[in-house]
Structure 1
């Protein structure tokens, strides 16, 4: 789609020798057209129309080869984040990407430029929705998320991201209009739910729900988790989190609850609306406890020793915390989808 990141696998021809320890292949990420709207921090004009998709480059400057990577196993042209923060968030994202790479929690960063960046190309495949239910994979995701949450990052540590972003989304939505009758009908139906009151009720519920503020990924879905090539299925370090556009200090419950919601959605469905929701796949109590226990086990060094009774109490409290914040995940991505229906050129059933 014209508003997605464009991803290119770029490699040196076989007859060209690399210099020193420079990589022979990299991933070129070109930011999508959404930044024309969002990097300025301005709103979305009601009559805004997406620009045409630029032609894909066949070759980078110099002797390297550059091949466009379409959506599919291992890589995707993922929709770009709508950014209420403006262009400063691009700088923060580059800093964050570099720090995570340095800590071996993400791909290496080779360079940045105003329209995108050069990243390490990692032979891998993205997880599938059904992979999330695999106990070994779920365990490792829990461990990786716990490590992520334990990081101290040089960013604002106040949890303003969740409701700040939703308020910005909602402000844009209330000013939207749709030219197509079918979309307008769906949009008007959504507005009958009084989204402002729904968000007010959600805020009141979550303000009464204790949840630690940690550094969150905020989008741990299967497409943002790589299964590294060459790692045995039983390896305890076979996964890597990617795509940190949404990462910020936020409530722990949102990050885990959002991940549990992703168990339900398959985004590779081959017919309209190009996703399939299976509510029965939401993790059961036992599957949630499996995740929570491995999350807490990795976190034990920061929490100290706990008794069996304390552990059981913490687990029950986390179950409540996570499933309440899962409601925020639904609301957040619901607002996001309404905006995407207006500005995205990707064929997808956003409304």
Structure 2
């Protein structure tokens, strides 16, 4: 996701979507700010220094390099200057898009970087009935991924787009792909029922991928290995790291593994990152329809335990990643959904599932079981993103309180554990 024009704000795994009409072009492929994928970051032995900062306003380029964790493949370390990088993006938009994109002048083309070094908003202004309209697409660049990963991701996006469960796919090329951009608003609990309905449809997908639920603990195990080997030099980080290590995370991981092994949860095709930055509200829709939103950003989607999608989504109610002061997030634990709010979500999910089932289910028992399942898998969400944040404190140049965020996630983990174990 991309952040607002006013400030490109860090999100744990994405930035908040740009509020602008038009289409979104993504040249896509790797990690949103370093979140888990098949390829994980390698921890180095030195803290990163303060990142460079560069902004050029006008009709061409706006880039805030504080938000680029590694050199961008578009603006990258190869020596490309702004005009050359912009020219590459302009050529992709012209060649793969239709309509007015075929006739615009490069001088009218604009490009803006978001949080990730992979995502760029490309746009231009046009006059229509004496009104200035900005047409935009998101450019998402592939870096550091194998051919297999790119093929699988492209297949997934194409299938989701065809079934209207994801943005339209305009084109795929070696450097990435082009996707539709849709008008957006931040999510809120009022649309919880529809999020649940969309998630139920997502879980019904049969995708041509490995059906074994390896993603969750394979990711946690790799992160744990890295966290236990990290050596911080910055005094503030050293102090916070030592505090986190008092939790005895390896032993706690084994406890979590045993708990979830004893918690039934079907394996389905999971989104794995249902949070406010990955939900787009659709404008200009029929007011009588329930299709007012769309799930986006499927970089982490894989076969996984259903409970993780529920628990992870509930955890995200706590965190606001648009907070504009240090540590650039705000944790409000009391926002974790109440039992009634969880039941609204669960009942909407089950109502959608019943449309595809011939058998009669015990609704009350299913609700009770899902409450336990979701809240136990919420522990896995806190644990995974807590480890992830420790690693980001070491390798990321993004201005964000990663160690504070890690502490928050593990604090919530232990609070949650007391309630549901």
Say if 1:6 and 1:30, in contact at 8 Å, map to a contact too.
Answer: no
Q: CA deviation at 1:84?
A: 11
Q: Any gaps of 5 or more consecutive residues in structure 1?
A: 10-23
Say if 2:47 and 2:233, in contact at 8 Å, map to a contact too.
Answer: no
Query: 2:25 maps to what in 1?
Result: 27
Matches for 1:164-175 after TM superposition, within 5 Å: 164-175=218-229
**TM-score normalised over the length of structure 1:** 0.81
CA RMSD of aligned residues (A): 3.5
Q: 1:159 aligned to 2:213?
A: yes
Q: 1:103 aligned to 2:168?
A: no
**Residues 132-187 of structure 1, C-alpha deviations (whole Å, 9 max, x = no match):** x11xx111001000000011001111111100111011112222222311112212
Find the partner of 1:277 among 319, 328, 331. Answer: 331
Q: CA deviation at 1:215?
A: 0.4
Distance change (3 Å), C-alpha of 1:237 and 1:274: same
In structure 1, what is the Cα distance between the partners aligned to 2:13 and 2:356?
38
Q: CA deviation at 1:112?
A: 3.0
Distance change (3 Å), C-alpha of 1:268 and 1:162: same
In structure 2, what is the Cα distance between the partners aligned to 1:7 and 1:294?
26
Three-state SS of the structure 2 residue aligned to 1:138 is helix
Q: Any gaps of 5 or more consecutive residues in structure 2?
A: 1-7, 49-68, 76-80, 95-104, 122-139, 404-421
Matches for 1:93-242 after TM superposition, within 5 Å: 93-122=153-182, 124-128=183-187, 131=188, 133-134=189-190, 137-231=191-285, 235-242=289-296
Q: CA deviation at 1:277?
A: 1.0
Say if 2:37 and 2:300, in contact at 8 Å, map to a contact too.
Answer: no
**TM-score normalised over the length of structure 2:** 0.68
Three-state SS of the structure 2 residue aligned to 1:302 is coil
Say if 2:44 and 2:395, in contact at 8 Å, map to a contact too.
Answer: no
Q: 1:45 aligned to 2:104?
A: no
Say if 1:257 and 1:329, in contact at 8 Å, map to a contact too.
Answer: yes
Deviates more, 1:333-342 or 1:62-71: 62-71
Say if 2:30 and 2:144, in contact at 8 Å, map to a contact too.
Answer: no
In structure 2, what is the Cα distance between the partners aligned to 1:70 and 1:268?
13
Distance change (3 Å), C-alpha of 1:314 and 1:51: closer
Deviates more, 1:318-327 or 1:109-118: 109-118
Q: CA deviation at 1:299?
A: 0.3
Query: 1:261 maps to what in 2?
Result: 315
Distance change (3 Å), C-alpha of 1:304 and 1:93: same
Query: 2:394 maps to what in 1?
Result: 342
In structure 2, what is the Cα distance between the partners aligned to 1:84 and 1:58?
21
Q: CA deviation at 1:96?
A: 1.0
Three-state SS of the structure 2 residue aligned to 1:117 is strand
Q: What count of residue pairs does the alignment treat as equivalent? A: 322
Distance change (3 Å), C-alpha of 1:6 and 1:209: closer
